[in-house]
Amino acid sequence: MAEPTRTPVADAALHLAQADVGYRRRAVLTNVNLTVAPGQIVALVGANGAGKSTLIKAVVGLADILAGTITVAGRAARHARGAAAYVPQVDTLDADFPVTAADVVLMGRYQPTRWLRQIRPTDRAVAADALERVGLADRARTRFGLLSGGQRQRVLLARAIAAQARLMLMDEPFNGLDVTSQDVIVTQLRDLAATGTAVLLSTHDLRLARDLADTACLIHGGRAVTGPTEQILAELPSTYGYGSQAADLHAARPGR
Ligand SMILES: Nc1ncnc2c1ncn2[C@@H]1O[C@H](COP(=O)(O)OP(=O)(O)OP(=O)(O)O)[C@@H](O)[C@H]1O
C-alpha cells in the first residue's frame, strides 16, 4: 500500500525506520516504517495483542528497540524523552497513589535535566491551564483515585498537554469512556494538532480513528502497514478481528 504524503525525515515529529521493537530479545513487531509530521494525527489500529502498545512504548523507552531507528523530533528516541508526552492506558495506573489531580498534571512539567528541578510559577500556571482545558479545573484538589475513569483519562491528557511536547503518544485513550470525556479528548487532540503537535494514538474505535486521523497504521502479524485511514479501514478483513465494526463503518460511509 502506498504511503501518504511524505514528510522529510528531518522535519518529522516521529520517524521509525526499519524498526524492530519488543521485549528483551523477542521482537513483537519487525521492520516498522512510520513517519508522523508535526500537526498530523495518526491512528494505530489492530487486534488485541497485535503490538500497538509495544510500538508506542518503544518510543518512550518502555519497550526495546531491537533493530533500526526511532527518532523523535530528529533525535534518537532515547535522547529525546522531553520531546514526547506519553499517556498510558488509564487502567494500568495505581489509582490509590495519594496525589491530587493538580499534582498529576504538574508532573508533566518535570524535567529531569533542569537545574535544581524546582517548580516555578510558570509551571503551575501551565498545569492549571491544562486542567482547565480538559474541563476539570474544579477537581484540581480531588484525589486522582477518586475521579471517574473518564476524568482520570482527562487528567492524564492534561499532564501531557502541560508537558508542551512536540509529540503526543496516547494508548487507547477512549477505552470505556463516557461521551463527555471522549468529546473533550477529541477536541483537545484536534487543538493540539492545529498548533503543530504530532499525535500518535492507538484505538479500537474505528469510527474515532476515521474521524480524527487521516492516516492510519494497521498492526497485524508482527508488521505495520500505513496508509490513508479510509483505505486501511476499507481493507480490514474480518480476520483482523474487526469484522462487524469494519462492516458497520463501511456501511456508514457518506454516499453509501
Ligand atoms: N512487558 C512485556 N514483556 C513481554 N511481552 C509483553 C510485554 N507487554 C506486552 N507483551 C506482549 O507483546 C505483545 C503485544 O502486546 P501489546 O500490549 O503491544 O498489544 P496491543 O496491540 O496494544 O494490545 P491491546 O489492544 O490488547 O492493548 C503481546 O503478545 C503481549 O503479550
Domain boundaries, the chain: 10-83+166-251, 92-164
Candidate of 21, 32, 53 to mutate for ligand 1, largest count of ligand atoms within 8 Å of Cβ = 53
Candidate of 21, 28, 44, 219 to mutate for ligand 1, largest count of ligand atoms within 8 Å of Cβ = 28
Q: Which class does domain 10-83+166-251 fall in?
A: alpha beta
Helix and strand counts by DSSP (H, E) for the chain: 8, 10
Q: Quote the ligand 1 centre to 175 CA distance (angstroms).
A: 16
* Predicted ipTM beyond 0.85: yes
Going by CA atoms, what residue is nearest to atom 16 of ligand 1? 51
Asked if 79 contacts 248 with a C-beta cutoff of 8 angstroms, the reply is: no
Asked if 22 contacts 64 with a C-beta cutoff of 8 angstroms, the reply is: yes
| CA dist., res. 76 & res. 45, Å (int) | 25
Q: 71 vs 15, 61, 75, 248, 253, CA distance in Å?
A: 5, 12, 5, 36, 35
Q: 84-117 burial, b for 16+ CB within 10 Å, e for fewer?
A: bbbbbbbeeeeeeeeebbbbbbbebbeeeeeeee
Cross-strand pairs, 220: 223
Ligand 1 pocket, Cβ-based, cut-off 6 angstroms: 23, 28, 46, 48-54
Q: Measure the CA angle with vertex 71, ends 157 and 202; round to 5°.
A: 40
| CA dist., res. 11 & res. 128, Å (int) | 31
* Ranges of the chain with pLDDT below 50: 1-4, 239, 254-256
Q: Would residue 185 be called left, alpha or beta, if left means φ above 0 and alpha means ψ between -120 and 50 degrees?
A: alpha
Q: Quote the ligand 1 centre to 92 CA distance (angstroms).
A: 13
Beta strands in the chain (DSSP E): 14-23, 26-36, 41-45, 64-72, 75-76, 84-87, 167-171, 198-202, 215-220, 223-228
Instruction: Please report where in the chains the cell 518512550 appears, as a residue.
Output: 60
Q: Quote the ligand 1 centre to 222 CA distance (angstroms).
A: 11
Q: Quote the ligand 1 centre to 51 CA distance (angstroms).
A: 5
- Least Cα distance to 219 among 42, 7, 37, 89 occurs for 42
The SS3 assignment for 5 reads: coil
| CA dist., res. 119 & res. 236, Å (int) | 48
Q: Would residue 162 be called left, alpha or beta, if left means φ above 0 and alpha means ψ between -120 and 50 degrees?
A: alpha
**Helical (H) or strand (E) element with 133:** helix 121-133
pLDDT for residue 2: 45
User: HSE of 227 in the Cβ direction (CA atoms, 13 Å)?
Assistant: 12
